[in-house]
Structure 1
Amino acid sequence: MSEQVVRLIGEAGRGGIVAVCDHASNRVPEGIELGVSPDTLDKHVAYDIGAGGVCERLARRHNIPAMLSDISRLVIDMHREEDADGLVPTSSDGILIAGNIGADREARLERYYRPYHDALESWLDAVQPGLILSIHSFTPVLESDPAADRPWEIGLLYNQDDSAAQHAIRLFSELGVTVGDNEPYSGKQLNAAMNRHAEAHGRPYCAIEIRNDLIATETGQARWAAIIADVAGRVKLALESAA
C-alpha cells in the first residue's frame, strides 16, 4: 500500500468483537484540492465527528480492536459502492465540493478506496469476528434541512440481516437511550460497507449511528464507548445463545 489509508488499533483474536469506522478522518492527501474552506473540513460532511474517538476507546479500553479509514469522505466515501453517485461527492449537505467536479474517479478508487476495502477484507477474513461494530455519527441539525427532527441519540442500521441490530435496539432502549430503528438513515439504502463485509459473509454486525454532539468531546466518547462495549458484549452472547 503506497499511502496510509487505514489505521489499525489493537490486536484482534478470532471470534471476538471488532469495530470498523469508514469515516474516522478528515485528512485530505497532498495533491488533492477539494476547493472547500478549512471550516468545511471540521464539519460532519468531511468525517463522522467523534466516531474515530469512540473506536479508539473501544480498542484501548474495552479490548474491541478497530480498523479506521484515514481519508476524508470528501475525497472518496468508503461507505458507498464503487458505482454510487456520491462516491466522490460534488456536494454534501448543501455545500459545493468544487474540486471534485471532473475528478479522476478511477484514480481515487485505485489509490484509496480499494486498498481500504482490501485491508478490511483481509483483516476480517483472518479474524472471523463474532460481531462487527460499524461506527458512524450523524449531525443533529442538517444545514440543508434545519427543520428536520432528529431526536435519536443512537441509531441501528441494517439491510437484510437485523439479528444483531434488534438485540441492540432492545438493549439500548432498556438503558434509557433514545434509539432509531433504521434511523436517521435506512440501512436498506445506505449499508455499503456492511453489505460487502458482513452480510455477504453471514457475519453478524451492528451498524451504529451516534448523534455527534454526544461524542464531540473526549468525555462523551469515553461514555458512549463504554455503553456500546457493554451492549455489544450482550448482543454477542444473545446471538451465541440463539445459535
Structure 2
Amino acid sequence: MSEAYEDVAAGGLDLLIVADHASAYVPADIDLGIDPALLEQHIAVDIGAAVVSRLLAAQLGCRAILGGVSRLVIDLNREEDAPGLLPVMSDGHAIPGNRDADPGARMRRFYHPYHDRIAALLAGMGSPFILSVHSFTPRLASDPGQARPWEIGVLYNRDDRAARIAIPMLEAAGLIVGDQLPYSGALLNATMNRHAEANGIPYLGIEMRQDLVSDAAGQARFAGILGPVVLECWSKLA
C-alpha cells in the first residue's frame, strides 16, 4: 500500500481507471493551514470519484488507480512545472501551508510514485484503454453566477475518439452532457496528455456533477450508466 495511491485490482481487462483527485487525505506531517472542514469540499477532493471508480472496476473487471492524497497537498493532474501543482489558492480559499512548501519533496513523495505506477500498469497491458474519472462542483464559490447545468462532462485534448462514441450514448441514457464542459480538456488534461495522448493510448475523460454522485444511490446510478459506455469505447478503440 502506497500513500501516493490506492491500487484497486478487480480483474485483468486491459482497461485502467484513473482518478487523480479521489482522496481528501492530508498526511499528519503536512500542515496546509486551512479549516479542516474544507477537506470535505470540492477544492480538496473530487466528491464521488473514488466510489464510482471502485464500482466500475468491480463491474468491468479491471484495475483502478486512485490518487492517495488531497489535491491541496499536490495536484496530480497538473504538469510538473505548473503553477497550481501546490495550490496556494483554490476557489477563493487561501492555502497558506503551501506557500513555503518544497515542491520537489512533495513530487518525490506523491507525484512521481503515482504517475510511475500508472505508467507501469499501462506498460503491462497489450491494448490499454484509460478511463479518467473526475467530478465538478455545480457552483463555484468564486463565480456563483456561472451556471453549470451539465450532469456529466466529457473532456479531451486532441484525441476525441472515445468522446465521439460516449457522448451520444450518455445522452441516450438521459444525461445532460457537456462536450468540453464545464471546462475544456485542451486547457486541463495533464494526466491524460502524459499517459494517453503522448503514447497513442485511447481514453475517455469524464467529469460527473458532484451533487449527483454525493451519495451511494447516485454513485451506483452513474457507475451503472458509465459501465456499458466505457466497454463500448474499449471494444472499439483498444
Cross-structure match for 1:35: 33
Superposed displacement of residue 18, structure 1: 2.2
C-alpha distance 4-128 of structure 1, shift in aligned 2 (>3 A):
farther
Between the aligned partners of 2:150 and 2:77, the Cα distance in structure 1 is 21
Sort the Cα spacing of 1:129 and 1:136 in 2 relative to 1 into closer, same or farther, 3 A.
farther
Q: CA deviation at 1:11?
A: 4.2
Separation in 2 of the partners of 1:173 and 1:129? 27
Letter in 2 for 1:97: I
Which segments of 5 or more consecutive residues in structure 1 lack a partner in the other structure?
none
Aligned equivalents of 2:126, 2:52: Cα separation in 1? 22
Contact residue 11 and residue 58 of structure 2 kept, 8 A: no
By how many angstroms is 1:236 displaced? 2.3
Match of 2:187 among 186, 189, 203: 189
Kindly indicate whether the alpha-carbon contact (under 8 Å) linking 1:161 and 1:199 is maintained by their aligned counterparts in 2: yes
Tell me which amino acid in the other structure corresponds to 2:235. L
Other-structure match for 1:8: 7
Distance in 1 (alpha carbons) for counterparts of 2:159 and 2:133: 17
The 8 Å contact of residues 10 and 58 in structure 2, kept in 1 or not, is answered as no
In 1, Cα distance between the equivalents of 2:112 and 2:128? Answer: 24
1:110 matched to which residue of 2?
108
Match of 1:97 among 90, 95, 107: 95
Q: 1:197 to 1:206 in 2, by over 3 A?
A: same
Name the structure 1 match of 2:61: 63
> 2:117 maps to what in 1?
119
1:197 to partner: Cα distance = 0.5
- What is the CA distance between 1:136 and its match in structure 2? 0.2
Q: State the Cα distance separating 1:10 from its structure 2 match.
A: 2.0
Q: CA deviation at 1:128?
A: 4.0
Residue deviations 1:114-145, cap 9 Å, x none? Answer: 11111111111112454210000000010000
- What is residue 169 of structure 2 aligned with on the other side? 171
How many residues align? The count is: 238
Letter in 2 for 1:165: A
Alpha-carbon distance between aligned partners in 1 of 2:113 and 2:151, rounded to the nearest angstrom? 32
Matches within 5 A, 1:215-230: 215-230=213-228
Distance 1:72 1:196, change over 3 A: same
How far is 1:84 from its partner? 0.3
Q: Counterparts of 2:117 and 2:128 in 1: how far apart (Å)?
A: 19
Contact persistence 2:15–2:129 (CA under 8 A): yes
Calculate the TM-score normalised by the size of structure 1: 0.94
Alignment partner, residue 86 of structure 1: 84
The answer to whether the Cα contact below 8 Å between 1:62 and 1:226 also exists between their aligned partners in 2 is no
Q: Is 1:237 aligned to residue 228 of structure 2?
A: no
Q: Report the aligned-residue RMSD.
A: 1.4
Distance 1:173 1:148 in 2: 23
Alpha-carbon distance in structure 1 between the residues aligned to 2:61 and 2:216: 18
SS in 2 for 1:127: coil
Alpha-carbon distance, 1:64 to partner:
3.3
Quote how far apart the aligned CAs of 1:8 are: 1.1
Q: Structure 1 residues 60, 124: CA separation in 2 closer, same or farther (over 3 Å shift)? A: same
User: C-alpha displacement at 1:171, in angstroms?
Assistant: 1.1
